[in-house]
Amino acid sequence: SLFTKQQKPQLERRIVGSTNRWRFPRESFSGDLLALSQLCKSLSIDFEEALRNPDRICITQIQKLFTENLKNKAVQSGEADVILECLGFKWELHQPQLFQSETLTRLYLVALSRGTMDPLRELDKLLRAQTPGKSKEPSHIKKMTISLKINDPLVTRVAFASALKNLYMSEAEINVDDVLGVLASAHILQFAALFQRCVTIMMNGLTPSTFKSFYLASCKYREKQLTMACEKWLEMNLVPVLGKQVHLRSIPQDLLHKVLKSPSLFTFSEFHLLKTMLFWVYLQLNQKIQTVPIYETVLAFFNSFPRKCAFLDRDTGQCLMPLFVSLRLHGITRGKDLEEIRHVNFFPEAWLTRITANHYHALENGGDMAHLKDFTTQALRFGLLFTQGYTTYSKTIAVYGFFFEIKGIKHDVTSYSFYMQRIKHKDLAFPSMVCEHSPVSLRAERLIKYEIRAHVLVDGKWQEFRTNRIMQKFGFVKPSCKSHALKIQTVGIPIYASFAFIFPVS
């Protein structure tokens, strides 16, 4: 019988019952095998030969034929045509629903041609047994039995039952807790409509706790749409969400490497991204830790290694080198942050020397970043996470003595704008917080190449807004102190707003 989420306890009891049998309602439908033979004829396929060699039949065309015949027909109770032996149970099914599954269709056709009996004679018996108004002599036709072996550990009995239920009900409820098993079952059954429905549910159900299992499933079943959704979700949430949770540990290294190289990666700053990566490494090396420690604990852990060799130069750190090569460490310019990088005993000395040399060169040349050649992979990034509670949100940043305010404004229910503007250090509301360990440039103008982006998730799809890459001289007074504004219309929230820029040689 059909079951709902609330009927799971009864479902479990039925699983351990002695009958081990599932029964689904039968739709009144006669002539399906006749239609099948007619389809084969239209495709110039010998029907009897097709029964002996089911692979010759175009299963998708058969499924389309039955789907058309099943439209607008009420589901009725009745005896099953087929018994499916699977997972230690006998599942009672009916021909019209069975043909929605490519796997079951093939098994059924093989079973129909099994043995020494004449397939066409057997077909005739089945048709006469189903056709209304024909002889009322008792039918001696036995229910056909087919068998399916499943080795996928994701396929549970409950999930498989849910998949079979969806043969009868196109909108049968799928519990998020069971969606992985239903997806796996749909894959085994080659039940395309259900498989796609599960993919949609998973794309809309990405959270820190479901992310890893959904991503691994997308790779296992080669579902590119789900894989791309997982990658995009991680690009946006690696720093602001996973960076604060123990689920950060679950991110596979190859996926993390790919996301770190993405130009769409959201981060509050390059230093925030570095801290997230240090937490990830810490959690990999301390598998028993079940909570994210404070940052000082992570620093103390890496400083506990002998200082004669940096962590990335050790055997343990060598395999992690590509991850940290992908970081934009040159974008960490705050004095206090640079001191932490130098003393954490994590990076090779050659890296630290190069970073320091580039900073000195930039400072001596009025902020010119001569070492940055490619905007896409090297621009400095800062971000605002604009949430429901904000009408205005801003943050002050300092780079080589130049101070900027990055800002987001909500104009109405669906209208927002984001921009950056240069400010004087003496106009800072809290100068000690921004100017600490920072130089101050007195240059009246600063040439900047910049780009502003915003990403929003709406109805399971990501919207992306962006400005062009703009070259502009920023002064202290309007209008030169303000960038072009990125204006967007969206019903989504939160908004991941990113500001990327470099200081070209002026």
List all residues 6 or more positions away from 253 whose beta carbon is below 8 Å from its beta carbon.
Answer: 319, 320, 323
Contact 269, 294 (CB under 8 A): no
Q: What is the pTM of this model?
A: 0.83
Please name which of 389, 385, 382 lies closest in space to residue 495, comparing C-alpha atoms. Answer: 385
Of 50 and 266, more confident: 266
Q: What is the pLDDT of residues 32-49, one digit of tens each?
A: 445 555 555 555 556 556
CB atoms within 10 A of CB 370: 12
Residue 106 CA: distances (Å) to CA of 52, 54, 67, 135, 142: 11, 6, 17, 30, 19
pLDDT for 11: 36
Of 99, 121, 149, the position where a domain reaches its end is: 149
Token duo for residue 350 = 């050659």
Handedness of CA 191, 194, 197, 201 (dihedral sign): negative
- H helix and E strand count, the chain: 21, 15
Mean pLDDT, residues 283-294: 93
Contact 292, 248 (CB under 8 A): yes
Q: What is the pLDDT of residues 249-271, one digit of tens each?
A: 999 999 999 999 999 999 999 99
Asked if 387 and 455 sit in the same domain, the reply is yes
pLDDT for 27: 36
Please name which of 91, 228, 185, 77 lies closest in space to residue 147, comparing C-alpha atoms. Answer: 91
Lowest mean pLDDT among 19-23, 145-149, 217-221: 19-23
List all residues 6 or more positions away from 157 whose beta carbon is below 8 Å from its beta carbon.
Answer: 15, 87, 88, 89
Does the residue 437 lie in any domain?
A: yes
- Total number of residues shown for the chain: 506
Q: Are strands 486-489 and 415-423 parallel, antiparallel or unpaired?
A: antiparallel
pLDDT for 197: 94
pLDDT surpasses 80 at 19: no
Please name which of 475, 462, 466, 473 lies closest in space to residue 499, comparing C-alpha atoms. Answer: 466
> Which residue range is the domain that position 191 belongs to?
156-236
pLDDT for 55: 53
Q: What is the pLDDT of residues 302-343, one digit of tens each?
A: 999 998 999 999 999 999 999 999 999 999 999 899 999 999
Band of residue 138 on the pLDDT scale cut at 50, 70, 90: very low
Does the residue 449 lie in any domain?
A: yes
Contact 159, 185 (CB under 8 A): yes
Rounded Cα distance, 158 and 16, in Å: 12
Of 319, 338, 364, the position where a domain reaches its end is: 364
3-state secondary structure of 227: helix
Band of residue 496 on the pLDDT scale cut at 50, 70, 90: very high
Asked if 228 and 339 sit in the same domain, the reply is no
Of 108 and 266, more confident: 266
Q: What is the pLDDT of residues 165-196, one digit of tens each?
A: 999 887 778 888 899 999 999 999 999 999 99
pLDDT for 73: 44
Contact 131, 154 (CB under 8 A): no
How many alpha carbons fall within 13 Å on the CB side of residue 461?
4
Rounded Cα distance, 252 and 488, in Å: 34
Asked if 441 and 496 sit in the same domain, the reply is yes
Asked if 215 and 324 sit in the same domain, the reply is no
Strands (E), 94-249: 144-147
pLDDT surpasses 70 at 18: no
- Mean pLDDT is highest, among 61-75, 114-128, 353-367, for 353-367
Asked if 314 and 400 sit in the same domain, the reply is no
Does the residue 385 lie in any domain?
A: yes
Token duo for residue 270 = 């390059």
Asked if 228 and 244 sit in the same domain, the reply is no
pLDDT for 144: 81
pLDDT surpasses 50 at 227: yes
pLDDT for 29: 32
Token duo for residue 83 = 């018994």
Q: Tell me the CATH number at 482.
A: 2.60.40
Contact 240, 252 (CB under 8 A): no
Asked if 228 and 264 sit in the same domain, the reply is no
pLDDT surpasses 70 at 415: yes
Please name which of 139, 143, 145 lies closest in space to residue 108, comparing C-alpha atoms. Answer: 145
Of 236, 255, 280, the position where a domain reaches its end is: 236
Does the residue 14 lie in any domain?
A: yes
pLDDT surpasses 60 at 118: no
Mean pLDDT, residues 342-371: 94
Quick one: DSSP state of residue 152? -
Band of residue 139 on the pLDDT scale cut at 50, 70, 90: very low
Asked if 31 and 84 sit in the same domain, the reply is yes
What's the mean per-residue pLDDT of the chain? 83
Mean pLDDT, residues 364-375: 94
pLDDT surpasses 60 at 75: no
pLDDT surpasses 90 at 114: no
pLDDT surpasses 60 at 28: no
Asked if 382 and 491 sit in the same domain, the reply is yes
- Per the structure, the count of domains in the chain is 4
Asked if 209 and 251 sit in the same domain, the reply is no
Does the residue 369 lie in any domain?
A: no
Asked if 407 and 484 sit in the same domain, the reply is yes
Asked if 175 and 215 sit in the same domain, the reply is yes
Does the residue 258 lie in any domain?
A: yes
pLDDT for 44: 57
pLDDT for 441: 87
459: left (phi over 0), alpha (psi -120 to 50) or beta: left
Please name which of 123, 131, 95 lies closest in space to residue 37, comparing C-alpha atoms. Answer: 123
What residues does 146 pair with on adjacent strands? 84
Band of residue 378 on the pLDDT scale cut at 50, 70, 90: very high
Backbone angles phi, psi at 460, to 5 degrees: 80, 0
Rounded Cα distance, 5 and 8, in Å: 6
Distance, C-alpha 389 to centroid of its chain: 26
Does the residue 203 lie in any domain?
A: yes
Q: What is the 3-state secondary structure (H, E, C) of 337-363?
A: HHHHHHHCCCCCHHHHHHHHHHHHHHH
Does the residue 179 lie in any domain?
A: yes
* H/E element, 195: helix 192-204
Handedness of CA 359, 360, 366, 370 (dihedral sign): negative
List all residues 6 or more positions away from 458 whose beta carbon is below 8 Å from its beta carbon.
Answer: 490, 491, 492
